[in-house]
Chain A
Amino acid sequence: MALLEVKNLKTYFHTRAGSVKAVDNVSFKLGKGEVLGLAGESGCGKTTTCLSIMQMIDFPGEIMEGQIIYENAFEVITENPSKSFRDRIFNRNVENKKRTKNLLEFSEAEMRSIRGNHISMVFQGAMNALNPVHRVGNQIQEVLNIHEPELEKDEAWDKVIDILETVGIDSVRARDYPHQLSGGMKQRALIAMALVNNPDIVIADEPVTALDVIVQAQVLKATKELQRKFDLSMIMITHDLSVIAEVCETLAIMYAGKLVEYGDLRTLFKEPFHPYTQALINAFPSIAGPKKDLYDIGGFPPDLRNPPSGCRFHPRCSKAMPICSKKEPSNTPIKNGYVACWLYEEEEKRK
């Protein structure tokens, strides 16, 4: 049973020069305790996908259609009625009527009770993601204050200390301000903030990209341990395949707003199906083993306002066939996942 299921999600940005189809028909599942790596080139819609799940798409973006089914959603409505007076008035009848697991049908107030509580997110660019004028501990405690107002102050603080120690920050640092922490510690503090209220799902957007290797290794190790300890479900966004190789179990590859391949990490790394995934893995330089030469994917990233017809990868694909530019491939099941490529569709469909 999947904990989170994204079905046919479409998120567009309506710009002056036309709609940017940043996320176009993306579907995937995330099971309990699963770590999903979301990889793809810059601008392919990774961050937008996750912001859509959180429903934090700002103007001029809009979620056009799709479903985001969150298994524990019922629990949310009954257990956590909206808090402010105004919200309560506005949501009274909504609550009675709507009992859906689809987050996209939730009101803004209901989404607020999900954010930070059930699904939390660590943003790209940790260096500025903490408010400079509040103590780190207090910023973490804030999550508890919002979502568990009945908790005593001392208890909440104890929890904060607990979680900080779990991510490997000494408890005395809880009273420090962000500028007193180093980059790696800030990143850990952000992870602690995401974890403090025992969320079901943590979305981490490029959590270690800004850090250097030594600190990166430390943070990733801590993350992996925590994930195992709390049996967390995680979505890890990165364009660094080696980071994914280190922590993830499932791999989803995005290309131009579409999910082109999705499946078990080990299988995909050994034997990638989609030509783009193959190219991506080949293009990655490695420090181990003999020196490989640079492998060029060739071509250029597509313009998301007017994406190529058919398979979006066809202008760059070395195995492109005539049909590729005409018709969009559908998802062909593979082991634990699927791939969207004409190479693997059945013969008769191809005609």
Chain B
Amino acid sequence: MGLRGYIAKKLFFAAVAFFVAITIVFFLYHVIPGNPANIFATDRTVNPDQRDALLERWGLNEPLWKQYGIFLRNLFQGDLGFSYLQKMPVTDVIGESLPWTLLLLGTSFVLNAVIGIFLGAFVAWRRGSKLDTGFVLTYNFYNAIPLFFVGMLFIALFSFYVRKWGWGFYFPAYGAQTAGSSEWGFFPRLVDILWHLALPLTVLTIAGILGWSWFMRGNLINILTEDYIKTARAKGLNENQVLYKHAFRNAILPVVTNIGMSIGGLIGGAVLIETVFSYPGTGRMLYEALIRHDYPLVQGAFIIISGLTLLGLLIAEIIYGFIDPRIRTE
């Protein structure tokens, strides 16, 4: 089986997994107390015409399996339902918050991966040195502190105390941009967004980098004792070539496998961080929707999240197929 067959297979599996995931999400939120139909029936703020139209469109008076069919049909058409709390389609609500989450997550992920892998390789290369020991200590220390606690600490330090001590510079503690900044020019706006992004991103990224580089370090240290490294040296390669051509790629393999895992962690982290920093992303929106029983929104958010996670996994598997021939040629 070549690479193409391998990718096709993975795509197929990912599609199946996605289908299963949305099915679970659907049924989960129809069996719990306070199901959507009741809510629509009792919510006075929804105007009766609109209510009827919604009940009709989503078949909320129909039996569950029929609702499921309707749900699938609507999903296929890109309709995730209507958030009765925000009074607009779920797709719009998510569409508003998703870019922020993607900005946060995407940037963090890329930084994690790139810096983490290279830092890991570097400390592995210098194993036993002071730098390495320092790294190990930092990793263990930082890992022992819960993420949102770090977040709160950062807010207290860089947003509150900094101002209290009268330093000229501080970071905002909430929001993704200054109110009214949409009228500013491109660059001032970009700077504003980055300024708001700085604290949550840092908190999220430090943990990620440490995790990734820790993993990478362990792998590389193992790989460097392999026989083929000796062979590479005997060919006349210099140390850099040995490291990057032979050791690096092998060490990176398990790291890639771990991407799926780290995406789950990242999303979890994002929910926490967005909550702590009042960042207007999907994560914060999700928990607001939850405590206020806005089921269509919750459902929509879960679908998006599982979609993203599966996408990440899929990409990881495909990358794995590219770098590890044993996987795809078996």
Query: Are B235 and A146 closer than 8 Å at their CB atoms?
Result: yes
Query: Does B230 lie at the interface of the complex (its beta carbon under 8 Å from any beta carbon of A)?
Result: yes
When each residue 83-117 of chain A gets 1 if its CB lies under 8 Å from chain B and 0 otherwise, what string results? 01001000000000000000000000100111111
- Are B236's CB and A112's CB within 8 A? yes
Q: Which residue of B lies closest to A128 (CB)?
A: B227
Complex CA distance for A50 and B236, rounded to whole angstroms: 15
Q: A132-B326, A133-B325 are in contact. Are A147 and B236 (CB under 8 A)?
A: yes
Question: Is there a chain B Cβ closer than 8 Å to A11's Cβ?
Answer: no
- Kindly state whether residue A142 has any CB partner on chain B within 8 Å: yes
Interface string of A49-93 (1 = CB under 8 A from B): 000001010000000000000000000000000001001000000
> Which residues of B sit under 8 angstroms from A157, Cβ to Cβ?
none
A130 with B236: CB separation less than 8 A: no
Say whether B230 contacts A129, CB under 8 Å.
yes
A180 touches B329 (CB 8 A): yes
Residue of B nearest to A194 (CB): B234
Flag if A115 contacts B235 (CB, 8 Å). yes
Given the known inter-chain contacts A133-B250, A133-B323, A179-B326, please indicate yes or no for A128 contacting B233, CB distance below 8 A. Answer: no
Contact of A128 with B235 in the complex, beta carbons under 8 Å: no
B231 contacts the other chain (Cβ, under 8 Å)? yes
User: Which chain B residues lie closer than 8 Å to A156 at the CB level?
Assistant: none
At the interface, yes or no: A168 with Cβ under 8 Å from chain B?
no
Give the shortest distance, in Å, between A30 (CB) and chain B (any CB).
18
Chain A residues within an 8 Å CB radius of B232: 131
Task: Name B249's contact: one of A130, A133, A147 (CB within 8 Å).
Answer: A133
Given contacts A130-B228, A132-B326, A133-B249, contact A54 B235 (CB under 8 A): no
A177 and B329: CB pair below 8 A? yes
Among A20-28, A119-127, A276-284, the stretch that binds chain B is: A119-127
Output the least CB separation between B320 and chain A (Å): 11
The residue in chain B whose Cβ has the minimal distance to the Cβ of A114 is B236
Q: Give CA–CA (A179, B329) in the complex, Å.
A: 9
From A116, A123, A128, give the contact of B236 (CB < 8 A): A116
Q: With the chains together, A308 CA to B246 CA distance in Å?
A: 43
CB-based contact B228/A115 at 8 Å? no
B residues 198-232 touching A (CB-CB < 8 Å): 226-228, 230-232
Nearest-neighbor residue (CB-CB) of A109 within chain B: B238
Distance (whole angstroms) from the CB of B59 to the closest CB of chain A? 53
Q: Which residue of B lies closest to A56 (CB)?
A: B233
Chain A residue numbers with a CB within 8 Å of B230 are 56, 123, 129
Cα of A116 to Cα of B226 in the assembled complex, Å? 19
- Can you name the residue of chain B whose Cβ is closest to the Cβ of A113? B236
Q: Quick check: B236 and A131 within 8 Å, CB to CB? A: no
Range for the number of chain A residues in contact with chain B:
20 to 34
Q: Are B227 and A125 interface neighbours, CB within 8 A? A: yes
Q: B324 in the interface, Cβ–Cβ < 8 Å?
A: yes
Report whether over half of chain B's contact residues are helix, strand or loop; otherwise say mixed.
helix
Question: Roughly how many angstroms separate A193 CA and B228 CA in the complex, as a whole number?
Answer: 12
Measured between beta carbons, the chain A residues less than 8 angstroms from B233 are 56, 115
Q: Determine whether A251 belongs to the interface, using a CB cutoff of 8 Å to chain B.
A: no
* A183–B230 alpha-carbon span in the complex (Å): 19
Complex contacts, B93 vs chain A, CB 8 Å: none
Tell me, yes or no, whether B253 is within 8 Å of chain A by CB.
Answer: yes
B326 to chain A: closest residue by CB: A179
Q: Which of B231, B241, B326 contacts A129 (CB 8 A)?
A: B231
What's the Cα separation between A125 and B230 when bound, in Å?
Answer: 11
B329 pairs with A117, CB closer than 8 A: no
Q: CB-CB contacts of B236-277 with A at 8 A, as 1s and 0s?
A: 111001000110011001000000000000000000000000
A180 to B327 CA separation, bound complex (whole angstroms): 11
Tell me if B226 and A128 are in contact (CB < 8 A). yes
What B residues does A133 contact at CB under 8 A?
249-250, 253, 323-325
Q: Is the CB of A129 within 8 A of B227?
A: yes
Expressed in whole angstroms, the Cα–Cα distance for A125 and B246 within the complex equals: 18
A206–B254 Cα distance when bound, in Å, is 32
Answer yes or no: A190 CB below 8 A from chain B CBs.
yes
Is the Cβ of A146 less than 8 Å from the Cβ of B237? yes
Q: Which residues of B contact A115 (CB under 8 A)?
A: 233-236
Chain B residues with CB under 8 A of A56: 230, 233-234
With both chains docked as a complex, state the minimum distance between the C-beta of B125 and any C-beta of chain A, in angstroms: 15
Residue among B234, B238, B246 making CB contact with A131, cutoff 8 Å: B246
Give chain A interface residues in 190-217, CB to chain B under 8 Å. Answer: 190, 193
3 smallest beta-carbon distances between A and B, as pairs? A116-B235, A116-B236, A177-B325
B residues neighboring A (CB under 8 Å): 226-228, 230-238, 241, 245-246, 249-250, 253, 323-326, 329
Residues of A near any B CB (own CB < 8 A): 54, 56, 84, 87, 109, 112-117, 120-121, 123, 125, 128-135, 142-143, 146-147, 177, 179-180, 190, 193
8 pairs from A and B in contact (CB 8 Å cutoff):
A54-B234, A84-B238, A109-B238, A112-B238, A115-B233, A129-B227, A131-B246, A132-B324
Further pairs besides A129-B227, A132-B325, A133-B250: 6, Cβ < 8 Å: A129-B231, A130-B228, A132-B326, A133-B253, A146-B236, A177-B326
